[in-house]
Amino acid sequence: MKKFVTFVFKRLLAAILVIVAVALISFFVINLAPGNPAVMLAGEAASPEYIKEIEKAYGFDKPIEERLFIYLHHLFLGDWGYSTYYQAPVLKAILQRLPATLLLMLTALAIAIALGIYLGAVTSSRAFSKFDALVNYVSLTFYSFPAYWLALMLILIFSLYIPAFPTGGMMDIGIEGAVQKVLNVIWHMVLPVTTLSLIFMASYLRLTRQVMIDVLSSNFIFTAIAKGLPKKRIIFKHALRNALIPVIAMAGTQFGQVIAGAVLTETIFSWPGMGSLLIQAVTYRDYPLVIGIFIMTAIVTSLSNFVADVLMARVDPRIKAKLIG
């Protein structure tokens, strides 16, 4: 048990170091860029008085090592700067949008993983058949589509030609009642979640299929077949359990890619999350907000990797035996 606690501590420390590294890179990008960083934050059209205020507020009139200490100190205390476009603290602006992004991303990722694992398990039992080839071809086709193109096609088909779903937004105005609000949000989520799920499902399908093919050729599977166990039980209970280990690892590492894919998806569907917030921040040159979004993305990604590592340690018998005994 002591080894497991040490393992968790090391993984947590690694996650913290990644977050600190992203924060440092963000600091040096602003402070070592050519020109006056205060002008970059305030905008070229800003008055000299306002630029002086920015220099004083962000400590640009101080030595760079002192600025770094102030930056990290404020970051640790939750003072991530002030959004020049939203006229609000950066952390507050991000936290207002983060739940919407997590709702969309976690739902899409859960569906992609579930479908990918199921179809991967089914196709592995019928490997190299026409059904296997068809499923792989369709999934790879969706994977090759750019997210923005697939999103636009879904809007064109299911919002304009067949007006079944809204073109964007998270919830209609004037909805009353908790149940009605939840159902309305789900209704708005269908197209953006479908977009992301179809794109990311192929990775889990192919990984599960490949691992399952290897597992199904193992000796313990032949033993289960010799005992006369049903085929479904062999596939979904015995073989799939061993194939889930690399899938868990991929889920943790892919979470950052899902957030990156959300930038255009949220913008196209007018979803009020961090992706659309980043587009607005870049458009209006709100650099404190851009940096804050990068840091928050690093935090979420690092935590997801940390959770995946801990789950791997609990699920993988080889790692579990070394850490727990």
Q: What is the per-residue DSSP string for 35-88?
A: S-HHHHHH-TTS-HHHHHHHHHHHTTTS-HHHHHHHHHHHHHHT---EETTTTE
> In CATH, what number is assigned to the domain containing residue 248?
1.10.3720.10
**How many domains does the chain divide into?**
1
Residue 315: inside a domain:
no
Residue 126: inside a domain:
yes
Residue 240: inside a domain:
yes
The number of CA neighbours under 13 Å toward the Cβ of 37 is 20
In which domain, by residue range, is 279 found? 98-284
Answer yes or no: pTM beyond 0.85: no
**What is the C-alpha separation between 323 and 4, in angstroms, rounded?**
5
Residue 305: inside a domain:
no
Start-end of H helices in the chain: 2-31, 37-42, 48-58, 64-77, 90-125, 130-144, 147-155, 178-216, 219-226, 231-233, 240-268, 274-283, 287-315, 317-323
Residue 83: inside a domain:
no
Output the tens digit of pLDDT for each of the chain's 325 residues: 677 788 888 889 999 999 999 999 988 887 776 777 777 777 667 788 888 887 777 777 788 888 888 888 888 888 888 887 888 999 999 999 999 999 998 899 999 999 999 999 889 888 888 888 999 899 888 888 888 899 999 999 999 999 999 999 999 888 888 899 999 999 999 999 999 999 889 889 988 898 888 888 888 888 888 888 888 888 887 788 777 878 877 877 777 777 776 788 888 999 999 888 988 888 887 888 888 998 998 888 888 888 888 877 777 666 665 555 5
